[in-house]
Structure 1
């Protein structure tokens, strides 16, 4: 993984959502923390082109998020804060298979890949279930499968343990720990990112901290006090 921000800025009208930022990300597990409205989600969405820089540039494995936007989407998958909004079709296996349509794969290949990703996360039994029947933890795993079936190199997760009980938070945490992909996680769940390789702290649209989890969490608590 090689993500480069070069003097990247984001404006929404007159408001600066992200002040100029130059940064390179290569670590396997990266956490993003900060108060609501601090710029962390804007920053994360720059990585796969959901948000475009107003000035400067962002590249992912050498691909520019503006000029190579379709290729970047194949490199970096994004799981939204509410996974139920991400799962479009009513049946879990159908939704996962949807991401493989239009890729020149046969029906048998699509079915095989869908089953393989369900089994990878131990949720083969959920394939025939309706999305609205799933628990919070099951929804997160189904959303994860729907993104990873397309084999992105990078996975970005926005508040993956939001509104989950302690059991499902632990389940999602263990799943993230076991992923081979590079993972970038936006989270208010500070325990989730406690063992990550690197944590970025945002405040008022600026990167105000970049370092090991314990140090960044301590700084975050000072800002939030």
Structure 2
């Protein structure tokens, strides 16, 4: 995945009296490490950056390419390669039950109805969610919802997984369960988090502040830089 001077600016509602608002300053990066953490204060540009990676947000300037495909004109293909997990799983769980949500994702495989249901049940079982397959999404705990969202995204086997603060709404136990699951995945993972202890275990950290990338590199130096910025 390569960003080439990719930035995001929102046009002014009235250009005669207002200036365009810069959300994310242009940046150029090659994201090659297996585990990359993204840290920064709320409003620092982390979420906008993550959404650039699979075309949920398009750059106002520059390009974002995944395996040579630009999000500007090949966003559907990019999204097949880059799965995205939101902070709040209810933002992406659109069907009444976990089984139906995973089945919805599997429609890309063009399986018949019976095969799709069997595949969905197998995926849920792999995540320890088989007994909740027919439960209402609203009856699940926060951790169960987040694992369901993860299973739904991974059902189509993306090469890259992007997660936007996936443990924010979870208690310690469910956070541990989620992270244990992530540790078993072969996908490249790019994840924003406020948990600095967790971020320190990643291969590389990007630090954002006020819409700019302020540090990129060694986890321990990155965390020290973030603390300087916060102070």
- The interval holding the TM-score normalised by the smaller chain is over 0.9
Q: Is contact 1:196-1:213 (8 Å) kept? A: yes
Q: Distance in 1 between matches of 2:49 and 2:108?
A: 30
Q: Quick one: which of 149, 154, 161 aligns to 1:143?
A: 149
Matched with 2:16 is: none
Matched pairs, number: 223
Work out whether residues 40 and 194 of structure 2, in 8 Å CA contact, stay in contact via their aligned partners in 1: yes
Contact 2:88 2:169 in 1 (8 A): no
Instruction: Measure how far apart 1:101 and its partner are.
Output: 2.1
Task: Report if the CA contact (8 A) 2:163-2:192 is conserved.
Answer: yes
Query: TM-score, normalised to structure 2's length?
Result: 0.93
2-structure distance, mates of 1:206, 1:50: 19
Contact kept, 8 Å, 2:204 with 2:216, in 1: the verdict is yes
> Aligned-pair RMSD on alpha carbons?
1.2
Partner of 2:9: 11
Gaps of 5+ in 2: 12-19
Q: Which of 1 and 2 has greater Rg?
A: 2
Q: Is the 8 A contact 1:4 1:23 kept in 2?
A: yes
Local SS of the residue matching 1:100? helix
Equivalent residue number for residue 75 of structure 1: 81
For 2:181 and 2:10, locate their aligned partners in 1 and report how far apart those are by CA, in whole Å. Answer: 35
In the superposition, the TM-score normalised over structure 1's length comes to: 0.95
Instruction: List aligned pairs for 1:202-213, cutoff 5 A.
Output: 202-213=208-219
Matched ranges for 1:49-198 at <5 A: 49-101=55-107, 103-198=109-204
C-alpha separation in 1, matches of 2:140 and 2:218? 35
**What displacement does 1:192 show?**
2.3
CA separation in 1, counterparts of 2:49 and 2:43? 11
Indicate the larger mover: 187-196 or 56-65.
187-196
Q: CA deviation at 1:197?
A: 0.9
